[in-house]
Amino acid sequence: MHLPPHAVRPDYAGGSVLNLAATLGAHHGVPTHHAAYRHPLPLHGARHVVLIVVDALGAGQLRDAITRGDAPTLASLTPTPGPVTSVFPSTTMAALTTLHTARAPAEHGYLGLTVWLDEAQAVVNLIRLYDVYTHTPLADAGFLAAVPSLYRQMRDRGVAAHVVMPAAYQHSVLTRWACDGAEYHPYAQPEETPALTAATLQPGQPSYTLVYFPDYDLICHGSGPDSPEAHAELRRTDRIVADLLAALPTNGDTLVVLTADHGQSAQLPDGYVDAITKKVMKTALRGPVAGEERAAYLRPQPGHHAEIAALLAPHATLLTADDAWTGGLFGPPAHADPRLRPRVGDLIAVPHPGHAIRRPTSPAPMPGLHGGWTAEEMLVPVLSARI
């Protein structure tokens, strides 16, 4: 599998969020299915682990924020001594689910915001759980729970598992599966998270707590990752993390790790590609385009593969889904679940930097996107503190 020079390949051999999750799980006794995280973490003797996930905080975005003076708290934490990648695609559905399960996208099956589901014979939005073309609800979503959550496995081993997440997410199908086994601590405003997190650390029992901040990602999508609004939100997040650290007991029993699921890249309006029209979708494709605007999954009609490739080749790197799957783009091939392979279609188009593939089912253009394999999207920070 040949990737272009600008592509950052997910480092499932020890330098990705998959390996980070596997190592944190292994610390609390969960059998690991993947290589250990290769960078040192002060885990020895830690009874409590707190994992903070700031959605869309790419390593480059954090570096720029520290240079601006916007993130003094994050600057005070110990950075990992080497690059860390997201998974592919570099999107929340794939990467946050990996952090919840310590499994690669090719194992847990959440391979993008929308995927082809053989079980439904449709391209389905995995958040809203409906056919993206007809909006018909998915009748049965039970089959989507392909692997156990980290939290269930920890709780079965006597470790108290917690998630501190927005109240709006508490009852979704994805949350009920991915956070199975964890006590859910909902919040209305992120300023509530310090007190909620501190309450999860009890002296008599080892614990694992994931704290999730989604707002930075939402603002980057709506205003752009380099916007004043995004900078202000990151300053707010930094203050909240400072309060969270101050709220935790300082007896040396707790390891705090901060990371992101992916980064964000700025997207100009003229970089959107309108190659997949309704006519093309109806005549040359077997159903809607799936995946992400920065990582599209297509199912060409027989005899139309060359036509689709010609439309997209000027704007994107094209590779067959078989090559991407067996080449380890979605996770180590030895662990990939072959039943999930159809979800990424037959042809994968990863737009060149600055481009995005719009389709008839796309939302309005956004000034911030992710999902592809540029450094802005793929490289994430890992910071830690033992307190």
Model pLDDT for residues 53-91, shown as the tens digit of each residue: 999 999 999 999 999 999 999 999 999 999 999 999 999
**Identity of the amino acid at 296:** A
CATH code, residues 269-369? 3.30.1360.180
Q: What is the pLDDT of residue 359?
A: 82
Give the CATH superfamily of 17-111+134-265+373-386: Alkaline Phosphatase, subunit A (3.40.720.10)
Q: Could you give the count of Cα atoms lying within 13 Å of 209 in the half-sphere of its Cβ?
A: 28
Phi/psi for 351 (5° steps) reads -60, 150
- Note the maximum CA span of the chain: 66
How many whole angstroms separate alpha carbon 362 and alpha carbon 310?
Answer: 21
Q: What is the pTM of this model?
A: 0.97
* β-strand pairing of 356-357 with 379-380: unpaired
Q: What ranges do the domains of the chain cover?
A: 17-111+134-265+373-386, 269-369
Taking 70 as the pLDDT cut, the residues of the chain under it are none
Positive or negative CA dihedral for 27, 33, 37, 40?
positive
- Using an 8 Å Cβ cutoff, are 358 and 365 in contact? yes
Q: Please give the C-alpha separations between residue 125 and each of 12, 201, 319, in angstroms, as whole numbers.
A: 26, 36, 23
Length in residues, the chain: 387
Q: Taking phi first (over 0 means left), then psi (-120 to 50 degrees means alpha), and beta for anything else, what does residue 189 get?
A: beta
Instruction: Provide CB contacts within 8 A for 290, sequence distance 6+.
Output: 112, 114, 115, 116, 123, 132, 296, 297, 298, 343, 344, 345
User: Is the CB of residue 139 less than 8 Å from the CB of residue 148?
Assistant: no
State pLDDT tens for residues 93-127. 999 999 999 999 999 999 999 999 999 999 999 99
